[in-house]
Amino acid sequence: MIEERVDPINIDVGELVQRTVASLYANLVTRPTGRAVRQAIEQQLQGDRRMAVSLIDFTEVRILDFSCADEVVAKLVARYLDPDRPREAFFLFRAVEELHSHTVEEVLRRQSLAAVCDVGAGYFQLLGEVEARERDAWQRIERAGRLVPRDAEQALGKGWIGPARNLATRRLVFMGPGGDITALSAMV
């Protein structure tokens, strides 16, 4: 059982684009558009200090350029890595399939960031900059869904705590106060 209450927050980026920039199409093609969408997402997250997992859904987004991916994905991830973040929030990005994965991967790598992305059919992977040992640990945690400390060494191998803590610090998994490790995909 996760030690804290988690509130999933579903955010439809296509709907935000149409509402925020009065566009008939859900295309993210200019930095100001991306900034407006990111600010709308941040506004939805304001006010409540409880931990949340936000599912940022790109299903209706047809075009995502580098400047918008930077604004909506990289800047959002970076803001909530900051110790002075406005809220305990973790992000999952949905529908980052072949159409958007290269763009998202590139903007994250440029800033040494990473994010958990649903790349289709409920299959999650890490995009961005991740060390091989962390990626391996993440994949094992993702397969398990949740690990309690007594099972972590068997599942993750010797020296598991370092990579697991790094993943938790980067908000790519959730590590509870008791040491339980939970894949973000298992929290939504």
Q: What is the pLDDT of residues 71-118, one digit of tens each?
A: 999 999 999 999 999 888 999 999 887 888 999 999 999 999 999 999
The string of pLDDT tens digits covering residues 22-60 is 554 567 778 888 898 899 999 988 877 788 899 999 888
Q: Which residue has the higher pLDDT, 82 or 153?
A: 82
Angle at 89 (CA atoms; ends 85, 95), nearest 5 degrees = 125
Half-sphere exposure of 158 (CA within 13 A, CB side): 0
Rounded Cα gap, residues 186 and 70, in angstroms: 26
By the 8 A CB rule, do 67 and 30 touch? yes
Global pTM exceeds 0.85: yes
Domains of the chain: 1-128 (no CATH), 130-188 (1.10.10)
